[in-house]
Structure 1
Amino acid sequence: DAAEIVGALIDHQAVRRINFTGSTQVGRIIARRAAEHLKPCLLELGGKAPLIVLEDADLDEAVNAAAFGAFMNQGQICMSTERIIVVDAVADAFAEKFAAKARGLACGDPREGKTPLGAVVDQRTVSHVNALIDDALAKGAKALAGGKSEGVLMCATVIDGVTAEMNLYRDESFGPIVGILRARDEADAIRLANDSEYGLSAAVFTKDTARGLRVARQIRSGICHVNGPTVHDEPQMPFGGVGASGYGRFGGKAGIDSFTELRWITIETEPGHFPF
């Protein structure tokens, strides 16, 4: 039993720190158990990564990055692009290009040729994604590519017109589905990006790098890439999130700091001066 084994590991005195990668639900359980022993945790949990497309973005580059971020590994990555937030001025043009890209991504056995999308992990994922699609379409969204599936081979699915009352707006899909949210302007795009309990990875596309950096600094996330996909990791960089995406950092110096204790040691070279 996984829960029993993990609990025993956390409780054991030989274990001084815990590093967990997984769901936010399980992360909360582990954090509570570790807190009983005053053991620090490093938690890398769920995500709902936003990718913002501003009106001055290179749309072709944004489309390619969004497709990679949303559908790489069938969208089963904590950093996967779950929300594409596009300003109204370029929303129609982006949606058309992105939907065409998604429709061109074959789904099947990766060993049999150019099939970038393979199977999702299990039938429960299929049911979850299908439910997100049903809910969004029932509440006014439109499917621009893909759709529901009966089996674990799921096509790249693009849902346009996602709004706050839809489950796809907030719930992590962990599957090959992405929603397009339309924003009035830059400020509204930032608001939408931050309207989530999660805060792991994010991205913003603009030809003005200074503007991109300014927007990135306003997004509540542990990671943000300007003109790059949300799925991007480098071993020397601090990796981790905020909010329901967890806390702590691993990778590079941050990882060393997370798994070591900072100590203060002194050596006196002269006789001390004491008040008594």
Structure 2
Amino acid sequence: MSVHRDLLIGGRDVPAASERTTEDFDPYTGEVFATVAAAGAADAERAVGAADAAFAGWSATGPAARRRVFRRAADLLEARTDEAVALMAREVGATGPWARFNVGLAADFLRETAAAMSRPRGEVLATNEEGALSLALREPLGVVAAFAPWNAPLILGTRAVAAALGAGNTVVLKASEQAPVCGGLFVAGVLREAGLPDGVLNVLTNDPADAAGVAEALIADERVRAVNFTGSTDVGRIVGAHAARHLKPALLELGGKNAIVVLDDADVDHAVHAAAFGAFHNSGQICMSGDRILVHASLAAEFTEKLAAKAASLPAGDPREPATVIGPLISQTAARRVAGLVADAVERGAAVLAGGGEPAGAVYPATVLAGVPRDAALHREEAFGPVVSLAEFADDDEAVALAGDTDRGLTCGILTENGTHGLRVARRVRTGIVHVGDQSVADEPMAPFGGVGASGFGRFGGRWGLEAFSNTRWVTLATRQPHYPF
């Protein structure tokens, strides 16, 4: 039985101005999971108005009061873990371990934001004016337009709003069309229950056909002061262009074409387990997933054989089954896209070592390829599915060159049993994040998170997140009457 949810505007659940709705599907069964209000430009205007009206009160609220809301929200979120797990299974096809990780990290984001609220918010500056005091103060921007993706709905739905709210801004969140409930309305519901005042966080849900119009209306509204977008590089370019047109700062966390590098001093068995996790966790639908595994030639034969066997053994299917590792992709369309990338690579000369073939509905098996040529689409594009390609390298120089052969430098994993060797390689890899002795997927709320190049710009996490959604203002105080020349 499906549920229905309205928009959240000004603390009230309201239908779209047009009274239209849209359907939200269970990716595994293909059944309608929920219907949600289909917002349009008029609803975006209403939501921004509510956020703008709430800004003065929220920005003047002291850090202790804001901190209490965030800490209570973290506790409430963890108390609703079972509900969240069931919700994520139905709305985005999440397996239990992935859903529980979403709950834990989202709660940690809330707690880390709470901790950062009372950190120094400015500094005293040197000045040439005798007797004067010169200050640099960090102040909230105003209304922030936030865009959350579907692939880690609780983590990224929370991250889309937490730092902006923690810095004293108000937010209009446009939830993903494929995770409007768990990635938007559920997160907002937890914060509302925790005591977040009406209008401070507003949530828009929309039909996919209206996504561009709603986004453009939000960004163009003169009351919106900043944009926060997490999603694909292609859409991020469009959002960034709109923000630039209206001279608004934008934090863009986009895609990654990430490499996991297995150095010649790696433990092969550990490297196989680590690489399989980095490539296939959440069916490869993570911006940090390892699309490419680069293996030193001396280990390549053993590593390849063991990784292919491990991939072939991973159970795929119903995300509600505890044994399932490879759940469905977000839709049958997404599964067919991944199958098309694999077919194109094979047609151009790649070899399938495990998996491949056609999807079963939205489920695609863990797939390992070797010899993917440069002219294959998979060489350039994110797989965003349970597909990984293998390549050999002869030395560190070649490993660095292969790892850097992308414009989407988000993260990199370097598997080695020699930390100093791994660090030497890590310092040469051009990514926003690198993990020595580990694979490519990791996230902590206190660490700066973001990529380089077409992987976006700006940083989430800890004080970096609060700084991203605040403005530096110069204030001086003359302690005696200044002298003027005329």
TM-score of the two chains, using structure 1 as the length reference: 0.96
Bigger shift: residues 65-74 or 124-133: 124-133
1:62/1:227 contact within 8 Å kept: no
Per the alignment, residue 211 of structure 2 pairs with 2
Residue 355 of structure 2 corresponds to which residue in structure 1? 146
Q: Which residue of 1 aligns with 2:378?
A: 168
* Structure 1: gaps spanning 5 or more residues: none
Structure 2 residue aligned with 1:35: 244
Contact 1:161 1:182 in 2 (8 A): no
| SS of aligned partner of 2:445 | coil
Q: What is the aligned partner in structure 2 of residue 209 from structure 1?
A: 419
Task: Give 1:273 shift.
Answer: 5.1
Q: Deviations over 1:194-240 (max 9, x none)?
A: 01011111111111111211211111111111111211000111111
1:243 equivalent among 453, 461, 466: 453
Does 2:269 align with 1:60?
yes
What's the CA shift for 1:47?
1.2
How far has the Cα of 1:274 moved from its partner?
5.0
Query: 1:267 pairs with 466, 470, 477, which one?
Result: 477
1: CA distance, partners of 2:297 / 2:483: 71
Alignment: residue pair count: 276
Instruction: Give the drift of 1:259.
Output: 0.5
Q: Partners in 1 of 2:428 and 2:473 — Cα distance?
A: 34
Distance in 2 between the 1:133 and 1:19 partners? 33
Give the secondary-structure state (helix, strand or coil) at the position aligned to 1:3: helix
Picking from 115, 118, 121, the partner of 2:327 is 118
- 1:128 equivalent in alignment to 2:337: yes
Are the equivalent residues in 1 in contact too, given 2:285–2:386 (CA < 8 A)?
A: yes
Counterpart residue identity of residue 226, structure 1: V
Mapping of 1:178-197 within 5 angstroms? 178-197=388-407
3-state SS of paired residue (1:60): helix
1:199 paired to 2:409: yes
Alignment partner of 1:213: what SS? Answer: helix
Which amino acid is the alignment partner of residue 306 of structure 2?
K
1:78 Cα deviation (Å)? 0.7
Cα distance in structure 2, aligned partners of 1:239 and 1:74? 22
The letter for the 2-side match of 1:85 is L
CA-based RMSD of the aligned residues comes to 1.4
Once residues 47 and 268 of structure 1 are traced to their aligned partners in structure 2, the CA distance between those partners, rounded to angstroms, is: 50
SS in 1 for 2:271: helix
Aligned residue for 2:467, secondary structure, equals helix
Equivalent pair of 2:258/2:412 in contact (CA under 8 Å): yes
What corresponds to 2:82 in structure 1?
Answer: none
Q: Does 1:97 align with 2:306?
A: yes
1: distance between equivalents of 2:296 and 2:366?
Answer: 23
Which residue, 107, 110, 121 being the options, matches 2:316? Answer: 107
> 2 CA distance for matches of 1:51 and 1:18?
31
Identity of aligned residues (%): 51
What is the SS of the residue equivalent to 1:265? strand
Aligned equivalents of 2:304, 2:431: Cα separation in 1: 25
Q: 1:252 aligns with which of 458, 462, 466?
A: 462
> How far apart, CA to CA, are the structure 2 residues paired with 1:140 and 1:180?
13
Supply the distance in 2 between the matched residues of 1:252 and 1:216 (Cα, whole angstroms). Answer: 23
Specify the code of the residue in structure 2 equivalent to 1:111.
Answer: R
